[in-house]
């Protein structure tokens, strides 16, 4: 089974589970991101209700790099189920901790061969949110044991009028082989059934030149 096919089958299974058992879930989220270095990320996830929750995340990453005067196309699909606990010390400040596993299937497509690799390992994540009707702040950080990869992001959004919000984000990610830092603007439209977030910004990585990125996200609470 190809990585692309396994990603879409995982998405189909997740969507089917949400449709057939909606009472189990607090909501679903999905999105797409691309940058000027031709990296592309697609993702979908679902989370059950608090305070003890299950989160299932499926992502598909595509990028390229140069090797021996030729281009290597990389496709990576990762599935990360976690179990977590969300608690409130003082409203509206909420914290969460989660732990689970991650599984990555990666294919490097070269001119004369394809190299495939599968890794599994532990995954942990912490989060904090300050959520009010007119302003929201969120922080997330995670660690993936198979690649010693750390990812972190801080976001803030303020209501500017009615269902429209403006904000910004900053992120850092990396391990001993790669790191990336960036920041950008957020524009969000909320209604009763879905929140749509547009994002755009600048990023700098250790293996690519400074560039720009953009994307769109959808969040559907139940």
Delimit the domains of the chain by residue range.
3-221
Cα–Cα distances (Å) from 28 to 2, 67, 140, in that order, read: 25, 38, 17
> pLDDT band for position 1 (50/70/90)?
very low
> pLDDT band for position 66 (50/70/90)?
confident
DSSP E strands, the chain: 25-35, 40-48, 52-67, 70-90, 93-109, 114-131, 135-144, 149-161, 164-174, 179-190, 195-205, 211-221
134, exposed or middle or buried, with CB in 10 Å at 0-12, 13-18, 19+?
exposed
What's the pLDDT score for residue 21?
59
Residue 62: pLDDT above 90?
yes
What's the pLDDT score for residue 90?
87
- Residue 6 DSSP label: H
The model's pLDDT over 76-89, given as tens digits with 9 standing for 90+, comes to: 999 998 999 999 98
Residue 111: pLDDT above 90?
no
Tokens of 84: 């977590």
Please tell me the pTM assigned to this model.
0.86
Tokens of 71: 């281009």
Residues 6+ apart with CB under 8 A from 143: 123, 124, 125, 149, 150
Given 2.40.160.40, 1.20.900.10, 3.40.30.10, 1.10.10.10, which CATH number is that of 3-221?
2.40.160.40
When pLDDT is averaged across residues 19-30 and rounded to a whole number, the result is 71
User: Do 197 and 219 contact (CB within 8 A), yes or no?
Assistant: yes
When pLDDT is averaged across residues 109-133 and rounded to a whole number, the result is 91
């Amino acid at each position: 089974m190809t990585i692309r096919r396994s990603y879409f089958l995982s998405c189909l299974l997740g969507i089917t589970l949400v449709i057939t058992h909606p009472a189990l879930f607090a909501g679903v989220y999905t999105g797409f991101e691309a940058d000027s270095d031709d990296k592309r990320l697609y993702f979908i996830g679902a989370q059950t209700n608090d305070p003890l929750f299950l989160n299932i995340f499926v992502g598909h990453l595509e990028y390229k790099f140069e090797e021996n005067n030729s281009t290597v196309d990389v496709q990576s699909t990762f599935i990360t189920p976690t179990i977590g606990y969300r608690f409130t010390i003082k409203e509206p400040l909420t914290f969460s901790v989660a732990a689970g596993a991650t599984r990555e299937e990666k294919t490097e497509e070269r001119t004369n061969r394809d190299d495939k690799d599968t890794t599994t390992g532990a995954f942990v994540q912490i989060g904090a949110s300050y959520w009010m009707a007119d302003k929201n702040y969120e922080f997330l950080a995670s660690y993936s044991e198979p690649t010693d990869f750390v990812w972190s992001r801080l976001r803030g959004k303020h209501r500017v009028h009615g269902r429209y919000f403006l904000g910004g984000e900053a992120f850092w990610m990396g391990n001993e082989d790669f790191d990336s830092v960036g920041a950008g603007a957020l524009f969000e439209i909320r209604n009763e059934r879905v929140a749509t977030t547009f994002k755009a910004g600048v990023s700098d990585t250790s293996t690519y030149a400074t560039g720009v990125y953009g994307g769109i996200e959808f969040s559907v609470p139940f």
